[in-house]
Chain A
Amino acid sequence: MNRRNFLKASAVSTAAFATTTLNAKESLSDEELKAISPTSLEAEFSVTENGNLEINKNQRLAFSRCFGCFDTCGVRVRIDNKTNGVLKVCGNPYSPATQDKPMDLNTPVKEAFLKLSAKNDEGLTTRATVCGRGNAVLDAINDPHRVTKCLKRVGKRGEKKWKTISYEQLVKEVCEGGDLFNEGYVEGLKDIRDLETIANKNYPDFGSKANQLFVSANSEQAARWSFMTRFAHSIWGTVNIGCKDAYCGHQQVAGCGMGSFDGTSEMALPSIDYEECKFAIFIGTNPGLSGVSLNAVGRRLAKAKQRDDFKYVVVDPILRSLTNEPTKTNGEWIPVKSGTDTAFIFALLNYIINNRLYFKNYLKTPSQEAANKIGQKNFTNATYLVVKEKSHPLYNKFLTADKLGIGSSEEKVVVDEKTNNYVSSSSKSLAKLYVDDFIILNDGTKVKVVSAFSLLKKRVNEQTLESYSKYCNIPVSKIIQVAKEFTSHGQKVGIETNTGCNASDGSHFAYATTILNSLVGAHNAKGGLHHMGGVGFASMYDTSKEPLYNLMAFEHAHTSGFPAERSGDYEQSYEYKQKVAKGIDPYPANEAWTTTYTQENSGEALIAHANGSPFNFKAWISWSTNPLYNCSGLKPQVIESIKDVKKLPLFIAIDPYINETNIYADYIIPDTVQYEEWANARMWGSEYIADVACVPVVEPKTMKNEKNQHVCMEQFLIDVSKNLKLSGLGKNAAKDKYGNFIDIHTPEDYYIRLFANVAHTNEVLPNPTKEDLIYSSVHRVLPLLNSKLKDNEVGPTAFMLTRGGRYEDFGQRYEGEFLTSAIRMDTQFQIYNEGLASKKDSYHGEYFDGQPIFDVDRFWDGTRLDELYDKKEYPFSFSTFKSQLRSPYSVVLPRIVALTPTNFIQMNIEDARLLGLINGDTARVISVQGRFIEGIIQADNTVGRYTIVIPTGYGHSAFGVDDTYIDGKVIKGIKQRAGGVSVNEFNIIDPSRKGASLYRDKIFGCTARHGVPVKIAKI
């Protein structure tokens, strides 16, 4: 009824106003329901009076994987049975990433859904949730700017003009080449794939021409990433593969790895055991607000905060929701200046070591037997003796037992605590922590030996507490308070980090935090640290090779040469050998090398391309990634070399969207988005070894090719391989365990076999019931499973899909005072990393120190950053963070943009006042070399001093911000998507690196982005 009709009908407008009599309506018919909820969905289930679950025939449920961010949680998807469209998404009750404790896999699916209902309030304790992004991401499917057809550029690169092209024509053009754009001849993939000819004879150690294909891809796509790298590495044969890990947070993961294993190529990233922890320090991480499953960890932290005996501090340049008013007695925010985190850690180490607050006996155990004797699960190398005699071949390495005739060369040497004798590190007794002495070896040489722990003490005393405090801007009293609290709860403490401490010493920082955890024995302890978070089946088992199908059983291409990003041993390079032969000092290397691990850094690969060293790439395939937007400081360094068709003749993108990187592509192949994908991945934030695994639960929106197959990344690679007649895809692409060939003509040919492997790994899953199949909609894929698998393989595979994945239940969480072995990482924690001390940096050719170093930020050649600029002119330190609603691609989601229209330049109110800036002013944040980004100031007391903080994910210039032309028709731009400012447009530029360059981590060469000096000026 509209207003006019009503006024006509009633005499006086106020007549019906009177009392609060309530309208007595007893029953609720469907029509009445529609009247009071006109735009709402229908409920997917109802619970009958006798407590039974009844399906709404208009909807079905299926389990899938969210890709709103890189936690890749398992989700439950409600689908409209008429339109087959996605209606709504929430969490999968069986997923370890959408609640703190997943449902038992044996729970029938119908019962699982019943437990999510209001019946007996069960759904209040069994909530399988998704975050804001997870709720919003269904809109990605129908976004008007989504790429669903094959596109070829019209005009120059980046002009936003495209035409549709048939899939078959696209495959033909990119494979065969030709004068594709009226710009001259372009070599096709068939000619680029030459594994014999050296790409550049001036760089013979950088491999064949086939290496001139660069593939940038998304590592968090897990099994899909493996499909892509299987093609790039094993089928095509290029060593130039990149992803975002090294410009994201790999130096922290590798840094924690250095504190957990010997060497530099391991990974670790522990998280707090929230159930029993008494005191946690969060630094460079915001559990429950960004990565590490915002979902599951948000739950765990919320529950932990209810305990009076749980306290925590959050060390961060900006205040975030972790410490909230109602739980103010639990948590505290400690503001820190961005990029100075290592100083804080060293201050804690300094205080704890000098005041002997560490767990003495734990550190004194030299072996597993000694650890067992004192009731511990792990041990460290704190007591091991390091040779500090410069002339000795073991200088800066551990003294080996054979040199004293007390053991083999595999064993090291410690000093027994009781006898003061030098004994083998296999000793079952406690050893001395502090040793600094001279010793005569069996061959008569006299060497100085110092224990790892003595070296550590010396290291952390290189500066005073006051000095560290001044550097990070945290008062000495606060440092002491935290150190005391951290050492007052036995092993029920931990310090957790993530990618947030990303200055040029991110690796040192992470290594130091791991040592801090080792000082109190927090690793693997009840209430301490859990190291097995986010581990999937592919990390623990060889799921691509066994037990049923060996998807790698084909003739692999022979790759050769260093990757262009220069990960590898510089001293094995042609450049080094030539210099030595000519009597020239081989150091510094002409370009920065990463000698410690393989970065796979898309940013550094593009830098190498921009410098033409070792060569320009002839072709670039970019899938599901956006380095020009996401890699700090990259775009200005490389954009010209990407736009230039002479430097980069062929640029192929595969993506559901036109992003800031592939906007310059020559061709775009449409790709699937979540719910349309074949997905199998680990889930970050899961505490179990777990995988999400799902088939497409809705039909992809991508176009179909002539064979009636949906175009996607996998289909494209399959058809390119067939065109180029490569092994590994197409006919006889791989083998089953009996040695029979299997063909891979479509994505399902590959993934169904992979899923079968996962379902049969370790414990073979059971068969699902008919009801399970119906409630999870898996009955719809049974015919497909039957056509690709052997009869006895179908059941377990289908079961896995009826649960949306699987996890290894470890039963009891604890084993006495430790986590159960299934979720422990039993390793020897490193106080001194010998493997690190055996690697050299590529500028000075000096060995790295085996322990973390606190130092100012430096460039590749060791020059201090602050020699390049005046601290008074650039008094601020730049920091970024991941907001809880935005992620790399979430700008396409209207509900996200509505809630996060813009970001701000966030700064401390006192800093603003001193500069005459107020809230709402438009200002520029300016880097030392003059690049700037512009935004609106938000100044208050929730940002630390001397720091400027801006969240990531804003300030887009693609994803449909502007009008896009396809076949001459415009798709109107959505201006709201441009809101805010992009933080990666600038970074400090390293003058010691010639040509295009990125600012690097000192040990791992990863792209550093925090603590960068900036100034701010009002416009």
Chain B
Amino acid sequence: MQRREIFKLAATASTLALVPAISAISKVRKENKKHLIMVIDLSKCNGCKACTISCGVENGNSAYEHRTEVHQSSINVSNKQYVFNFPMLCNQCEEPSCVSVCPTNATYKRQEDGIIVVDSKTCIGCNYCIKACPYEGVRFENTQTDTVDKCNFCVHRTSKGMLPACVETCIGEAREFGDLNDRNSKVSKLLDNSYPMVLQAHVGTKPNVFYIGLPQDKSNQRYSLHNNIQWQR
């Protein structure tokens, strides 16, 4: 796909119908393979950013390059102020925009668990995937390796039966993680019992990161993971 076409698709996104997370989930379930997802319950997030730092240490990223971030802002509800804490990371999409534009197949979605990874040996740093991804900032160029970096659900841990670094340290237990196709898993039950949102559902990427407690209008907005941290509470 040409670069120009990528941006055209994003521009017309708002006219597409909202695709609920549920239909994406049912398709994944039909395939009946291990399929790792994250469910973030925003009511439990207090914006502590332990996840951001834990991820950085676990994955050897520099202090200024984050695979996940928690944005904080204030929100007015019926004339009262509340805080909005918003963790963001790669959505490990079912229909990823990034994989199709990679000239070397360095980035791909793993069959065994659905995690989208980047092979640093074959990545040439062209950054097409960064430009193609509608979730600005979740992919970035790692200044230590000069290759593209992003959250890969701590595949080095999750492929060995351990939890991702962000999940392990999540103080409020906001980040839940597991196999969607295990009907007994916590994430499976969470999705069955709630109506979670995904980000920019209208773009059709079918994310595998689900948010409980995210207002629908906020779920449609474009965010950048790497904007300047100006407001912290």
Contacts of A15 in B (CB 8 A): 103
Q: Are B162 and A43 touching (Cβ within 8 A)?
A: yes
Which residues 110-158 in B have Cβ within 8 Å of A in the complex?
A: 110-112, 117-126, 142, 144-145, 147, 152, 154-158
Contacts of B60 in A (CB 8 A): 39-41
Contacts of B168 in A (CB 8 A): 90, 116, 123, 127, 129
Contacts of A37 in B (CB 8 A): 59, 152, 155-156
Q: Are A36 and B48 touching (Cβ within 8 A)?
A: no
Task: State the CA gap A44–B162 with chains docked (Å).
Answer: 9
B32 within 8 A of A: no
Query: Quick one: which of B63, B186, B229 contacts A121, CB cutoff 8 A?
Result: B186
Task: State the CA gap A288–B49 with chains docked (Å).
Answer: 12
Q: How far is the CB of A235 from chain B (nearest CB, A)?
A: 41
Question: Interface code A475-489, partner B: CB below 8 Å = 1, 0 otherwise?
Answer: 000000000000000
B83 within 8 A of A: yes
Q: Evaluate whether A38 and B120 lie within 8 angstroms (CB atoms) in the complex, with A17-B101, A118-B163, A321-B233 already known.
A: yes
Q: Are B233 and A132 touching (Cβ within 8 A)?
A: no
A332 within 8 A of B: yes
Q: A14-B2, A132-B53 are in contact. List 19 more A-B contacts (CB 8 A).
A: A1-B104, A1-B124, A16-B105, A33-B155, A35-B121, A36-B152, A40-B58, A42-B156, A44-B162, A47-B161, A129-B50, A135-B169, A288-B46, A298-B171, A306-B43, A324-B85, A333-B82, A938-B230, A941-B76
Contacts of A324 in B (CB 8 A): 42-43, 45-47, 82-85
A169 within 8 A of B: no
Question: Interface code B95-115, partner A: CB below 8 Å = 1, 0 otherwise?
Answer: 110011111110011111000
- Interface stretch (choices A21-29, A275-283, A359-367): A21-29
Q: Are A23 and B63 touching (Cβ within 8 A)?
A: no
Task: State the CA gap A896–B57 with chains docked (Å).
Answer: 12
Query: Quick one: which of B49, B102, B108, B157 contacts A899, CB cutoff 8 A?
Result: B49
Q: How far is the CB of B182 from chain A (nearest CB, A)?
A: 8
Contacts of A302 in B (CB 8 A): 43-46, 171-174
Q: How far is the CB of A59 from chain B (nearest CB, A)?
A: 12
Query: Quick one: which of B57, B84, B213, B232 contacts A895, CB cutoff 8 A?
Result: B57
Q: Are B80 and A328 touching (Cβ within 8 A)?
A: yes
Contacts of A43 in B (CB 8 A): 156-157, 160, 162
Contacts of A299 in B (CB 8 A): 171-173
Question: Interface code A292-336, partner B: CB below 8 Å = 1, 0 otherwise?
Answer: 001100110111011000000000001111111111100011000
Contacts of B23 in A (CB 8 A): none
Q: Are A16 and B104 touching (Cβ within 8 A)?
A: yes
B74 within 8 A of A: yes
Contacts of B231 in A (CB 8 A): 938
Contacts of B160 in A (CB 8 A): 43, 45-47
Q: How far is the CB of A887 from chain B (nearest CB, A)?
A: 13
Task: State the CA gap A885–B229 with chains docked (Å).
Answer: 13
From B60, B84, B103, residue with most partner A Cβ within 10 Å: B103
A900 within 8 A of B: yes
A787 within 8 A of B: no
Contacts of A258 in B (CB 8 A): none
A445 within 8 A of B: no
Please list the residues of chain A having a beta carbon within 8 angstroms of any beta carbon in chain B: 1-3, 5-6, 10, 13-20, 22-26, 28, 33, 35-48, 87-88, 90-91, 116-119, 121, 123-125, 127, 129-132, 134-136, 138, 288-289, 294-295, 298-299, 301-303, 305-306, 318-328, 332-333, 883-885, 894-901, 938, 940-942
Closest Cβ neighbor of A46 among chain B residues? B160
Contacts of A325 in B (CB 8 A): 42, 75, 77, 82-84, 213, 215
B167 within 8 A of A: yes
Q: How far is the CB of B97 from chain A (nearest CB, A)?
A: 9
Query: Quick one: which of A134, A318, A332, A895 contacts B56, CB cutoff 8 A?
Result: A895
Q: Are B82 and A20 touching (Cβ within 8 A)?
A: no
Contacts of A901 in B (CB 8 A): 229
Q: Evaluate whether A327 and B43 lie within 8 angstroms (CB atoms) in the complex, with A321-B72, A884-B48 already known.
A: yes
Query: Quick one: which of A117, A326, A327, A900 contacts B163, CB cutoff 8 A?
Result: A117
Closest Cβ neighbor of B174 among chain A residues? A302
Q: Are B53 and A328 touching (Cβ within 8 A)?
A: no
From A37, A41, A116, A131, residue with most partner B Cβ within 10 Å: A37
Task: State the CA gap A901–B110 with chains docked (Å).
Answer: 37
Task: State the CA gap A320–B72 with chains docked (Å).
Answer: 10
Q: Are B103 and A885 touching (Cβ within 8 A)?
A: no
Task: State the CA gap A117–B233 with chains docked (Å).
Answer: 31
Q: Are A898 and B43 touching (Cβ within 8 A)?
A: no
Contacts of A294 in B (CB 8 A): 48, 171
Interchain Cβ contacts under 8 Å between A and B, 8 examples: A6-B103, A16-B102, A36-B117, A131-B171, A321-B83, A325-B42, A327-B43, A883-B232
Task: State the CA gap A17–B133 with chains docked (Å).
Answer: 15
Q: How far is the CB of B211 from chain A (nearest CB, A)?
A: 9
Q: How far is the CB of B43 from chain A (nearest CB, A)?
A: 4
Closest Cβ neighbor of B144 among chain A residues? A39
Contacts of B14 in A (CB 8 A): none
Q: Are B83 and A319 touching (Cβ within 8 A)?
A: yes
Q: Are A289 and B46 touching (Cβ within 8 A)?
A: yes
Q: Are B172 and A298 touching (Cβ within 8 A)?
A: yes
Q: Are B83 and A323 touching (Cβ within 8 A)?
A: yes
Q: Are B103 and A36 touching (Cβ within 8 A)?
A: no
Query: Quick one: which of A88, A327, A897 contacts B63, CB cutoff 8 A?
Result: A897
Q: Evaluate whether A26 and B63 lie within 8 angstroms (CB atoms) in the complex, with A3-B125, A130-B169, A901-B229 already known.
A: no
B52 within 8 A of A: yes
From B61, B63, B147, residue with most partner A Cβ within 10 Å: B63
Q: Are A326 and B43 touching (Cβ within 8 A)?
A: yes
Q: Are A20 and B64 touching (Cβ within 8 A)?
A: no
Task: State the CA gap A10–B58 with chains docked (Å).
Answer: 36
Closest Cβ neighbor of A33 among chain B residues? B156
Q: Are B233 and A35 touching (Cβ within 8 A)?
A: no
Closest Cβ neighbor of B215 among chain A residues? A325
Question: Interface code B157-191, partner A: CB below 8 Å = 1, 0 otherwise?
Answer: 11111110101111111101110000001100000
B17 within 8 A of A: no
Q: How far is the CB of B3 from chain A (nearest CB, A)?
A: 9
Contacts of A134 in B (CB 8 A): 50
Contacts of A303 in B (CB 8 A): 44, 173
From B43, B101, B112, B162, residue with most partner A Cβ within 10 Å: B162
Contacts of A323 in B (CB 8 A): 82-83
Closest Cβ neighbor of A51 among chain B residues? B161
Q: Are A118 and B57 touching (Cβ within 8 A)?
A: no
Q: Evaluate whether A25 and B63 lie within 8 angstroms (CB atoms) in the complex, with A883-B232, A895-B53, A899-B52 already known.
A: no
Q: Are B44 and A305 touching (Cβ within 8 A)?
A: yes
Q: How far is the CB of A762 from chain B (nearest CB, A)?
A: 31
Q: How far is the CB of B225 from chain A (nearest CB, A)?
A: 13
From A18, A35, A321, A940, residue with most partner B Cβ within 10 Å: A321
B81 within 8 A of A: yes
Contacts of A320 in B (CB 8 A): 83, 233
B54 within 8 A of A: yes
Q: Are B161 and A46 touching (Cβ within 8 A)?
A: yes
Q: Are B161 and A124 touching (Cβ within 8 A)?
A: no
From B63, B160, B178, residue with most partner A Cβ within 10 Å: B160
From A40, A333, A885, residue with most partner B Cβ within 10 Å: A40
Contacts of A942 in B (CB 8 A): 74, 81, 83, 233
Contacts of A295 in B (CB 8 A): 171
Task: State the CA gap A897–B60 with chains docked (Å).
Answer: 17
Query: Quick one: which of A3, A42, A327, A898 contacts B64, CB cutoff 8 A?
Result: A898
Task: State the CA gap A117–B122 with chains docked (Å).
Answer: 31
Q: Are A941 and B74 touching (Cβ within 8 A)?
A: yes
Q: Are B2 and A20 touching (Cβ within 8 A)?
A: no
B1 within 8 A of A: yes
Contacts of B57 in A (CB 8 A): 41, 87-88, 135-136, 138, 895
Q: Are B186 and A40 touching (Cβ within 8 A)?
A: no
Contacts of B49 in A (CB 8 A): 132, 884-885, 899
Q: Evaluate whether A35 and B120 lie within 8 angstroms (CB atoms) in the complex, with A129-B169, A900-B232 already known.
A: yes
Q: Are A40 and B156 touching (Cβ within 8 A)?
A: yes
